[in-house]
A = this chain, B = another copy of it.
Amino acid sequence: MQQAYAVILAGGSGTRFWPASRRLRPKQLLSIGPAAESSLIATTVERIEPLCPPDRILVATGAHLVAATRAALPQLPSPAFLGEPSARNTAACIGWATAILRRRDPDAVVMVLPSDHHIGDVPEFRRVLAQALASASDGPITTVGIRPTRPETGYGYLELGPETTAGVHVVERFVEKPARARAEAYVASGRFLWNSGMFFFRAEAMLEAIAAHLPELARGLDRIESAAMAGEAAEAAETRAVFPSLPAISIDHGVMERLQPIHVVRGDFGWSDLGSWESAWELGRKDTTGNVLGPSAIALDARNNYVQALGTTGKKRVLVAIGVDDLCIIDTDDALLVIPRNRAQDVRLAVEHLRDAGDEELV
């Protein structure tokens, strides 16, 4: 019987949630969004548990993040954590994890999931994932496409081809981030979905696709496989040796856009990639004047603000916003950010400024 495995991609070093996110505390380790008790990655693992028990989950992250990631997921066994010796983008990471799973179970069916997204409707999410796993278990590599709700220019789109079985389509083509007018046409057409970054495949099918389209990556993975036969120490040494030379390319560019056919399951489950503080506000629970306020935040004659204290020392701080609208005010132990919601993407300016100034501990 084919069994489902999960590879959780947790390598993000995103700066978009600064000052809460840092190099050593990336977004997936934060508690943001409406389910603010657990970290995003812990929520990700809890969400898939009915489909995939803890002992069939791998978490791929940067070597420098393994300790913190393990601490966020105490229910996972220690070998679940794969620390990439260097960041080589998603194709290398997915190929590496897939090869490990195939070694363990040649019939493995794998789902690759981001670790830092928000899902509003979890039962529907699980239903879609089960459908995608079923599609992949006896068919081509399958992805989940999200019904677009706005002409977003920051996402990739995929165009729907013919329906193969109920709810499953062939992907006609992938389109990288489109210009505004094109994105509007896509949304209006009803034939385009957002690329969710979730992939479902038999381990064997993915490794074949990599061999066909990314032979250099396939050779590197083969070297690690050979070393693994000599034991864990040899495998670890070869992984460290090989990884920096692997091609740094995304799975989308390296495999998905080159491969045919790809299947897609249509998803509509309150998805958000939580791309910025603005999306945290969008998803947050608002008071009657549109403010999303943390427990120690007070808004007086102020509307549509996102005000959160995210310090970790537990020291009580009160945040008071008076007479301001549409701001994000983010307070942490050592840094404060005030930025308009509609400029939330510019948080990177702060990170760049601090990095240039040599304030490494703040980024």
Residues of A at the B interface (CB closer than 8 Å) are 19, 298, 300-301, 315-324, 327, 329, 331, 333-340, 343, 346-347, 349-350, 353-354, 359, 362
Contact = CB atoms under 8 A, between A and B. Distances in A.
Nearest to A334: B317
A353 B300 contact: yes
B319 A349 contact: no
Nearest to A323: B343
A50 to B, nearest CB: 42
A300 B357 CA distance: 14
Contacts of A336: 317-320, 329, 331, 336
23 contacts: A19-B318, A19-B320, A298-B354, A300-B346, A300-B349, A300-B350, A300-B353, A301-B346, A317-B333, A317-B334, A318-B336, A318-B359, A318-B362, A320-B337, A321-B339, A322-B339, A322-B340, A322-B343, A323-B339, A323-B343, A329-B336, A329-B338, A338-B338
A307 B224 CA distance: 54
Nearest to A339: B322
Contacts of A337: 320, 322
A338 B322 contact: yes
Contacts of A315: 334
Contact of A334 (B318, B340, B353): B318
Nearest to A361: B316
Contacts of A327: 324, 338
Nearest to A305: B338
Contacts of A322: 337-340, 343, 346-347, 349-350
A282 to B, nearest CB: 18
A300 B315 CA distance: 28
Contacts of A354: 298, 318
A296 to B, nearest CB: 9
A335 B353 contact: no
Contacts of A334: 315-318
A198 B320 CA distance: 35
A359 B322 CA distance: 18
A248 to B, nearest CB: 30
A116 B160 CA distance: 71
Contact of A335 (B19, B320, B323, B340): B320
A354 B336 CA distance: 21
A320 B352 CA distance: 12
- Candidate in A323, A336, A347 with the most chain B CB atoms within 10 angstroms: A336
Contacts of A359: 318
A355 to B, nearest CB: 12
Contacts of A350: 298, 300, 320, 322
Nearest to A338: B321
A22 to B, nearest CB: 12
Nearest to A19: B320
A353 to B, nearest CB: 6
A317 B316 CA distance: 16
A35 B359 CA distance: 28
A338 B320 contact: yes
A19 B319 CA distance: 10
